[in-house]
Amino acid sequence: MSGPPPRRSVLYVPGSNARALAKARTLTADALILDLEDAVAPEAKPAARERVCAALREGGFGPREIAVRINALDTEWGEADLAEACAAAPDAILIPKVDSARTVGAVAERIGAAAPEGVRLWSMLETPLGVLNAREIAAASPLQNVWVVGTQDLARALGCRTAEGREPLQTVLGLCLLAARAFGLALLDGVYGAIRDAEGFRAECREARDLGFDGKTLIHPSQIDDCNALFAPSDEDLARARRTVAAFERAREEGRGVAVLDGRMIENLHVESARRTLARAETLDARAREMRAE
């Protein structure tokens, strides 16, 4: 599969829950975050670390991308989390509550020295200071390739109300998106906590998709299928992409630099977007075949 892996659905899996770790190997999530931080009680953190690292060494996660969310380095668990996660070699190590480029640089240096080649760094932007420093954080290390926006922590820190939608967070989401795209990072939306509110979840997925996010972090397996569907090109998207490419190619054959489709001008930038849509569909089809082959 060429290009970056799909990250439509990224499920948090509590590192202290052996049953959840086992079940995660059978789910259709594009990626998993094996969590040592918020999902684990303080007294259970050392045992969770051992369990997660054992699961990584055991393998069996198939094509799913695997990240480990460690505790912050200024906690009593963070240093051991980072050292043991590096040794266990997930696809990525996720740092929580990133406020500065210095934090990213320090962790990236440790990963580069202690982890096998190919282990990447993911960062969580979930504080006001982190968002204000987004540009510097985005540029901090070439090992960093994914951001997760911690929308619930941000809403709490900002004191804004999001019960009836996320309009109060639009500035935050936009700043994160601008910085991520400027430096070539994938961007994941925060979790939707009301797991029984399927329509609310779908609405938030559509909002994040339309803003330009690559996918969404999840807290329950029941959210995976909707998330995968909503962050994938629809049949209508694919049909229009094919028609766009075909119209432009006809125009080029006729010596014209632009085409007209349904009364709208089609230029090269539209064709590039259409081809990206078609390539993404091919990537997702390949991922589905991999999942079925497990």
Taking 80 as the threshold, does the pLDDT of residue 156 lie above it?
yes
Give percent of the chain above pLDDT 90. 83
The CATH fold assigned to 9-230 is: TIM Barrel (3.20.20)
Composition of the chain by helix, strand, coil, percent to 5 = 50, 15, 35
Residues 200-213, mean pLDDT to the nearest whole number: 96
Structure confidence by residue, pLDDT tens digits, 92-101: 999 999 999 9
Q: How confident is the model at residue 259 (pLDDT cuts 50, 70, 90)?
A: confident
pLDDT in tens, 101-140: 999 999 999 999 999 999 999 999 999 999 999 999 999 9
- Type and span of the H or E element at 106: helix 101-114
- Residue 267: pLDDT band with limits 50, 70, 90: confident
pLDDT at 1 over 60: no
> Does the pLDDT value for residue 67 go beyond 70?
yes
Tell me the pTM.
0.93
The gap from C-alpha 195 to its chain's centroid, in whole angstroms, comes to 19
**2 pLDDT band (50/70/90 cuts)?**
low
Domains in the chain: boundaries: 9-230, 235-293
Contacts of 24 (CB under 8 A, 6+ apart): 11, 13, 32, 34, 61, 64
Structure token pair of residue 184: 């070539």
Mean pLDDT of the chain: 94
